[in-house]
Amino acid sequence: MNKAPTLGAGVSSLPPEGAQPALGRPGGGLDLSYSEAAVLAIQREMEADPRVVVLGEDVGRGGIFGQYKGLQQAFGDERVIDTPISEAAIMGAGVGMALAGLRPVVEMRVVDFALCGMDELVNQAAKNRFMFGGQGRVPLVARMPGGIWDASAAQHSQSLEAWFAHLPGVVVVSPSTPQDNYGLLRAALQCGDPVVYIEHKTLWSLRGEVDEDVAVPLGKARRVREGNALTLVSWSRQMQACAAACDALAAEGIAVDLIDLRTLWPWDRETVLASCARTRRLLVVHEAVQVAGFGAEIAASAAEATGCRVARLGAPRIPVGYAPVLEAQSRVGPEAIAAAARKLLG
């Protein structure tokens, strides 16, 4: 398809402030940023399904990352609802809306703030379908931007995806590209269960081609590059560091099978384990603290199923510092990834 997204009279491609409008590409895709792709995904679902609503702080003015830009003007303030500053109230209202038959997008601003609404998510949304024998469904999407937010310190830079992957009853998604942010957000909005949707706080300006005809299913990984030396699995912003590490390794003649998990729960066991069985080595990399991170689940599953050698690489168990030199200690860069791969190869 080669058309710009439209949202009501006078609103075209919905770029964040200062960004260039989206341009069609010769292949039929749209040149969109990560945030523009999210706006377009919600727009398409709101057009297709009147039950889809948005609620949260600042959504009327487009959200703090531009991820709702133009939606209230197009659909009105009864479908794009500005709320008080209370994450518990926002999440609780979203759960109630879902149980009443709507499909709410619940905006938490950042994952760090979502902790104030954890009871409603953990004890209500995640368990309702089980506790009441399927009589109630909670088809909400809780957007919780995660990861290190540059120069934003410990309370605004957490990667908490393992918490939610540990929680029965929810789907956990973490897209790394504009295409995946478009496709996975649409898939999440069509899912009948609660989805914890973790976009990265610093990917919003990342641009790429978005093809509206490409469906991205939940639970299916993306193979970024093929190789036989070892399997490298990651997700979200960390995919950029992994890709750079793969380039460095390729220059040394080491071909890596790089897999973007995309959905943490359910994760694509078939793709990952098939790769591990072939390469016999697995390195899992994530921005989150390595201790009890979701990488441990992947590594253990691969070791049990295939007997391959495994290694994990994540952040040290420290709060993210504000000073650049301290913040850098929590980052897992390409050099560290390449070094871990070489060590695994022996």
Q: Could you list the active site residues?
A: 156
Q: Report helix, strand or coil for 34.
A: helix
Query: What amino acid is encoded at 112 in this protein?
Result: D
Residue 208: HSE in the Cβ half-sphere, 13 Å Cα cutoff: 18
List the beta strands (DSSP E) in the chain. Answer: 23-24, 30-33, 52-56, 80-82, 103-107, 141-143, 171-173, 195-197, 207-210, 222-225, 230-234, 256-260, 263-265, 281-289, 309-315
What torsion, rounded to 10 degrees, do the Cα atoms 327, 332, 336, 342 define? 170
DSSP, residue by residue, 131-157: HTTTS-----EEE--BS--TT--GGG-
Residue 71: HSE in the Cβ half-sphere, 13 Å Cα cutoff: 34
